[in-house]
Amino acid sequence: MAAVGTWSFSRPAVERMRCMLLAGQNATDVVETAIAEVEDDVDTGRHIVGRGGYPNSKGVVECDAAIMEGVPGRFGAVAALRGIAQPCRVARKVMEKSPHSLLVGDGAEAFAQELGFTSEPNANMLSDHSATAYREYLEKNKLVRGGHDTIGLIALDLSGNITVGVSTSGAPFKAPGRVGDSPLPGCGLYADHKVGAAAATGDGDKIMCYCPSFHVVQLMRQGSSPNEACQAVLADIQRRIGGDKCFELGLISLNMKFLSA
């Protein structure tokens, strides 16, 4: 079994996943639970995930989230979803209960409500921090607080199931309706039970043009280690965009090697 996550703030979530996996829990339950706890937590340093995420340019929190299992076709996602504190739980329901793979905006919210999720007023989705940051943004008409907090978690359970999940409120003060890389398969996340899984974080408007998560998994399929695959994808993108240009992209990946560890 094994668990990995994006950014140092995900360490408690990774530790939580490790305990759940050791207790024999299923990879998808583990990823969903660990992400949902981060989504619903407005404390310390997590300002781009679920409740408490930075809002869009109109002050409304809009979230993207996705879950992908290693089994072919097992994918569900939501994008530009408003009023739901734990969007990754809705993404899982899309995977399990909907004939579709990705639901957006009002349609995603209606789907969530039908399945018993409570839609909350936008005021409940903002934290003191994100509300203050939005006021500063309006006053100065520019992003005064940035950073990256998108959570991406990968779990490999004791039975050999691998699942990856991501959740984000996206680019701070984005245009309403903007969707990033996170809910797009191959871009924000990808999993294949014969190979491994990967997740991305960073500037989603650029990331989605390069399908880096799919690329990482393909390279692992061809024999690269997770680290080699991530490095190779970063180098490939750097080569393609040209030496002096850059954008923010972080990748995590896990292969099936830890199955018996």
CB of 86 to ligand SD4, least distance (A): 17
Residues in the chain: 261
Nearer Cβ to ligand SD4 (127/168)? 168
Q: How far is the CB of 97 from ligand SD4 (least distance, A)?
A: 25
> Any binding-site annotation on 181?
yes
Residue 159 CB, nearest approach to ligand SD4 (Å): 30
**186 annotated as a binding-site residue:** no
From its phi and psi, is residue 7 left (phi > 0), alpha (psi between -120 and 50) or beta? left
Binding site for ligand SD4 (CB under 6 A): 48, 64, 148-150, 168, 170-171, 180-182, 201-204, 207
Pair of tokens at residue 156: 């490999």
> Tokens for 189?
């996340």
Strand order across the beta sheet in which 249-255 lies: 189-192, 196-202, 249-255
The answer to whether 30 is a known ligand-binding residue is: no
Report the 10 Å Cβ neighbour count for 82: 22
In the bound complex, what is the minimum distance in angstroms from residue 71's beta carbon to ligand SD4?
A: 25
Residue closer to ligand SD4, measured from CB, 161 or 167: 167
How far apart, in Å, are the Cα atoms of 188 and each of 41, 116, 179, 230?
A: 22, 27, 11, 13
On whether the CB atoms of residues 36 and 86 are closer than 8 A, the answer is: yes
**Smaller CB distance to ligand SD4: residue 1 or 207?**
207
Catalytic status, residue 6: no
Catalytic residue among 28, 33, 150, 168: 150
Backbone angles phi, psi at 21, to 5 degrees: -65, -40
* 92 marked ligand binding residue: no
**Binding-site positions for substrate:** 178-181, 201-204
**Binding-site positions:** 178-181, 201-204
Catalytic residue ranges: 150
